[in-house]
Amino acid sequence: MPFYLKHFLLFVPFILLFPAWVHSQIQDESPPVVFRCIEWQRVDSELFYLNDEERMNVRMRPTTRSQDYRYTGQGPLTFFLPGGEEPVAVAQTELPSGQGPYLLIFFEEGKSAGGTPKYRILAINDSDSEFPFGQYKIYNMAPYDVAMQLGTTKNRIDSRSIAEIQPDGIRANGMMDVKIAVHQENGNWRFQFVGLWPYHEETRALLFLVPDQKHGNKKIRVKSIVERRRSVESDR
């Protein structure tokens, strides 16, 4: 066998394996997905996910963001509850790696035949660039359109849609005018709220416009999740 051919054959296995090795290195170096959670209704305290086969318990509250969690696995992020012999998948979401952090809001969507709750996840890019402080992100969960004014900024929010408002026209005392109106079948608008709210540039707020089933007649209530920017001193 010629000398050069003999040495070329020695490198063939390396050449064949090199692309797979590069692919594995890229996967290993993929940045983790960072997320935090909020529960809309109470979420089972035994909820967990698997990160590199390690069980990670998740704790959350209804009005404030949880601690940050990290996921370095491949594919969708799946949450489980303990089952009989095997854990039961109860929620799942796709989160692109290297982006975020994400805020995951858990909504209960009934129970399985065995009584295990199932959850729907609303995933929001919670980074400062996508959701800056001083801004309001408003989710109209009602089956009808809503008009909302914050300061002098007005916005019509279609049913089941999202609006982002950066209020203008803040008063000298730090208060802003707030008006909320619901669209009626006759084409008119009916005010549900007129008043003043405090405005802070160092806070950002999620507002959920929720149908008020108790009072009917297209009444809505507002659920807010407010976060204040942490100062450097508070992180020490």
- What is the three-class DSSP state of 20? helix
* Distances, alpha carbon 63 to alpha carbons 39, 183, 189, 206, 223, in Å: 8, 28, 30, 10, 9
Chain segment 31-58, per-residue pLDDT in tens: 889 999 999 989 999 999 999 889 999 9
Tell me the domains of the chain and their CATH numbers: 33-125 (no CATH), 136-235 (2.60.40)
Chain segment 211-229, per-residue pLDDT in tens: 987 766 678 999 999 999 8
Residue 148 contacts residue 158 (beta carbons within 8 Å): no
Chain segment 135-150, per-residue pLDDT in tens: 999 999 999 999 999 9
Residue with tokens 């963001």: 65
Query: Is the predicted pLDDT of residue 16 greater than 60, yes or no?
Result: no
pTM confidence score? 0.79
